[in-house]
Amino acid sequence: MDVRNGMGLRPLGTSAAEFEQDLLSNLYYRRGTTVESASTQDAYETLALTVRDRLAERRVRTAAAHYAANPRWVYYLSAEYLLGKQLEQNMLYSGTDRIARIAMKQLGLDPDEVEGLDVEPGLGNGGLGRLAACLLDAMATLDIPAVGYGIRYDLGIFKQTFKNGAQVEKPDDWSYQGNPWEFPAPDDRQTVFFYGHTERDANGKTCWIPGEVVLGEPSHMLVPGHGTDTVNIVRLWRARGSESSFDLSRFSAGQYAEAVDEAVHAENISKVLYPDDSTESGRELRLKQQYFLVSCSLRDIIRRFRLRNTDWSEFPKKTVIQLNDTHPTLAIPELMRLLVDEEGLNWDLAWTIVRQTFAYTCHTLLPEALETWSVPMFERLLPRHLEIIYTINEHFLAEVREAFPGDVDRVRRMSLIQEEPDRRVRMANLAVVGTQAVNGVAELHSELLASTTLRDFAELWPAKFHNVTNGISPRRFIKIANPTLSSLISEGLGGDEWINDLDRLAGLEALADDESFRSRWRAVKQANKVRLGLGDPESLTDVMIKRFHEYKRQQLKLLHIITMYHRIKANPGQAYVPRTVLFAGKAAPAYHAAKHVIRLINAVAAVIDADPAVSPYLKVVFPPNYNVTLGSLIIPAADLSEQISMAGKEASGTGNMKLALNGALTIGTLDGANIEIRDKVGADNFFLFGLDTPAATALKNNGYRARDHYDRDPELRHALDSILDGKFLGIGREVGESLLNWDEYLTLADYRSYVDAQDQVDAAWQDTDQWTRKSILNTARSGFFSADRTVRDYAAGIWHVNPVKVGR
Ligand code: 7GP
């Protein structure tokens, strides 16, 4: 079914000459200029539109095929998406990468300069946001009918800069030049209510009389599949004041600020992404954002359902809504409200529908990262939702009491409402109660969720708990990020089918013992280091790229660096394995402990750099503003991947997968997906160190004293003392004190084991052939970590959805 032809449109050409014609025509009609007078920005926007046109055609066909199939849909609700730059990906997926470059050159444009203007929309913080993007990519690639819903933040994750080595945040006005990838859909705008009170009418029906009205305006970006015609969408909502929010009379009276007060207030909802990762911010505006996302998205989901269906009992058969952590959990009481208050369904039927519709993914184990909202604030903002949550809680606690008679403490722990020390709504509890499936994101994480964080719930409903180990997009994180390695792999495997079938990488195992293949593998790695701008390509590139958080233990890596520094200072004449340690990552602006670590890293880097006895062997670099774009440059250049969190704290990690896939060897603890990576790549090809979860838990329970390790280990003492004595430009005393006196994450307990493992890394590095062999085996055995496998697991175990093929 060619929808385009059916509409009398000419098909877009697939030759460079036709692409060139379309570029010229878009430049003329959409930018109103010509090649002679076009700015680079004009050229970029035009290129983006010309590529987008090719995908728009597939999008139209996809929508038609989905409409005809009336399938079960996956709706992915996420407060965050880290989509990465769109241009290169969309050129690859639309098959225009080659012709687009030829066409640009024909027109006298510099493709690199033009493509350089593409901007990364930083609408997320870290792992959770990037996972959402990888899952959307895989869903489209696997032809699963899906829509991602999110918020179109005006300002994305802050831009990180360094001033005197300290993190300084700058706003990220990512779309101030516009965003050519976006399709506005003003017709589908929604009305969202806040505040007010509830009333009961004569029939006992409840209604909510809101106190504030805000509009949600959607736009969407295309989410193409790779090697298929499916193009799904991610729909993002932007808050607007309602028509009445502009006060003309005040404006006429010269009260300009007051005149737009209400509109500004409304628009603030989608103004900025909360720059938190695993810590709760506790601000009313954040709760407002969450409800805004949920309210707009649910109304849109229902609008879409009604296009083909009438009967509410069909709703869960046609709809699965995946909650990306607890941020969109208000969808549960909101759907209850829509069904009971607005649609007139009885409570029990509505509750059955709701529970069957939702599923919840948890991304953390840190208790402080489990969201709760103060009851008085919640009640002010969402009075009807609080009533609904109370009713859900009543029914639910009755169920608990029946299952565990007399267990008052259990009831207190499981309640949706925390009573002490203050009354708060527990979003994770609500998410478990209101869904049909709950999953963790790696095997260990899912086990720990069921045995610790969510234990009471797993005891009540064991069958509800699942594991779905995270995965990453092979398109973005090897094919696009590492083109030279991808070509070498395709050559080695005799084709590029591996990109959509990552288990085929296993075919590389046979080549790990081939000397000429190994030397080409090494040459690619070295070229990637040069591309990144690292000085000596022979130097071991040791990378730690992730958000700054104490549990991830950048401070442990730092202690190792200081130890290397001291060893070289003590024995300057010896031959050391040259290392370049690369850190990248942001700290939440209010997370002072993490910011102190950043500052100390920069100070240590400067001291080492200024020391000619050490700098030939050791270099510490810390490029600012880690994001998907920078990650895609660093990952292909890495030899060693640092995954050194305290065991039992990292839910999964996904950077660990990206690095292993690109041939970096991991040094890591038995935490998150590290365990599965080690199982797959083999213990010989992984540097293991540190306490495991049971040992770490036992140590903490038995009264851990960091100082004992300091007293016992002279190298550790030397490293810590140098921090405490201010040897690094006087920076970092807070870091040293906190490690010595408290050390929440057992850094000192794992120090010796870590440093010893790093010595093994040095030894292994000196056998170049063996190292390269291990590197190849890491890639060959990483197929499991494709997001395609992750999506298949969700589809089979939780979503029960089937692909819909888009016809030509
Ligand atoms: C992260 C986890 O820390 C990381 O281990 C995991 O790989 C990733 O999610 C994807 O599942 N969590 C977040 O980014 C986050 O913001 C808040 O968690 C609950």
CATH code of the domain in which 567 resides: 3.40.50.2000
User: Residue 228: pLDDT above 70?
Assistant: yes
Average pLDDT, stretch 362-388?
95
Q: Are 460 and 587 found together in one domain?
A: no
Tell whether 98 is covered by a domain: no
Instruction: Tell me the three state secondary structure of residue 279.
Output: coil
Instruction: Tell me the three state secondary structure of residue 25.
Output: helix
Q: Are 634 and 715 found together in one domain?
A: yes
Q: Are 460 and 349 found together in one domain?
A: yes
Tell whether 105 is covered by a domain: no
pLDDT band at 535 (very low <50, low <70, confident <90, very high): confident
Tell whether 377 is covered by a domain: yes
> Tens digit of pLDDT for each residue in 443-474?
999 999 999 999 999 999 999 999 999 999 99
Task: Check if the beta carbon of residue 343 is closer than 8 Å to that of residue 349.
Answer: no
List the residue whose alpha carbon is closest to atom 13 of ligand 1.
128
User: Residue 404: pLDDT above 70?
Assistant: yes
Q: Rounded mean pLDDT of the chain?
A: 96
Q: Which tokens go with 365?
A: 């184990």
Domain boundary among 424, 446, 470: 470
Q: Are 552 and 630 found together in one domain?
A: yes
User: Residue 276: pLDDT above 80?
Assistant: no
Amino acid at 2: D
Taking the CA atoms of residue 592, residue 598, residue 599 and residue 601 in that order, the dihedral angle to the nearest 10 degrees is: 150
Q: Are 646 and 751 found together in one domain?
A: yes
Q: Are 429 and 563 found together in one domain?
A: no
Tell whether 364 is covered by a domain: yes
Q: Are 334 and 457 found together in one domain?
A: yes
User: Residue 7: pLDDT above 70?
Assistant: no
Helix (H), strand (E), coil (C) string for 471-488: CECHHHHHHHCCHHHHHH
Centroid of ligand 1 to alpha carbon of 369 (angstroms)? 10
Average pLDDT, stretch 554-567?
98
pLDDT band at 368 (very low <50, low <70, confident <90, very high): confident
> Which H or E element spans position 74?
strand 73-77
> Which residues are known catalytic residues?
363, 546-547, 552, 654, 658
On the 0-12 / 13-18 / 19+ scale of CB atoms within 10 A, 24 is middle
Domain boundary among 470, 489, 505: 470
Tell whether 666 is covered by a domain: yes
Tell whether 670 is covered by a domain: yes
Centroid of ligand 1 to alpha carbon of 636 (angstroms)? 22
Q: Which atom of ligand 1 sits closest to the CA of residue 672? A: 5
- State the residue range of the domain holding 644: 524-771
Centroid of ligand 1 to alpha carbon of 365 (angstroms)? 9
Tell whether 662 is covered by a domain: yes
What's residue 64's pLDDT? Answer: 95
The DSSP symbol for 452 reads I
> Tens digit of pLDDT for each residue in 180-219?
999 999 999 999 999 999 999 888 889 999 999 999 999 9
What's residue 204's pLDDT? Answer: 84
Helix axes 554-570, 592-609, angle to 10 degrees: 20
Measured CA to CA, the distance from residue 444 to residue 41 in angstroms comes to 48
Average pLDDT, stretch 163-175?
98
Split into its structural domains, the chain has a count of 2
Amino acid at 515: E
Task: Check if the beta carbon of residue 225 is closer than 8 Å to that of residue 142.
Answer: yes
Tell whether 786 is covered by a domain: no
Out of 134, 364, 449, mutate this one to test ligand 1's pocket (max ligand atoms within 8 Å of CB): namely 364
Distance of CA 781 to the CA centre of its chain: 23
Q: Are 743 and 641 found together in one domain?
A: yes
Q: Are 342 and 466 found together in one domain?
A: yes
Model ipTM over 0.95: yes
Residues with CB under 6 A from ligand 1: 125-128, 131, 277-278, 325, 363-364, 369, 441, 470, 650-654, 672
What's residue 5's pLDDT? Answer: 53
User: Residue 1: pLDDT above 50?
Assistant: no
Q: Are 439 and 531 found together in one domain?
A: no
- CA-closest candidate to residue 152, choices 236, 66, 274: 236
Longest dimension (CA), the chain: 91
Centroid of ligand 1 to alpha carbon of 652 (angstroms)? 7
What's residue 243's pLDDT? Answer: 81
Give every CB contact of residue 261 below 8 A, 6+ residues apart in sequence.
247
- CA-closest candidate to residue 619, choices 631, 606, 630: 606
User: Residue 756: pLDDT above 50?
Assistant: yes
Q: Which atom of ligand 1 sits closest to the CA of residue 371? A: 19
pLDDT band at 94 (very low <50, low <70, confident <90, very high): very high
Q: Which atom of ligand 1 sits closest to the CA of residue 445? A: 5
Q: Can you tell me which residue has the tokens 């527990």?
A: 426
743 φ, ψ (degrees, to nearest 5): 55, 60
Domain boundary among 436, 470, 504: 470
Q: Are 466 and 529 found together in one domain?
A: no
Q: Are 544 and 448 found together in one domain?
A: no
Beta bridge partners of 579: 540, 618
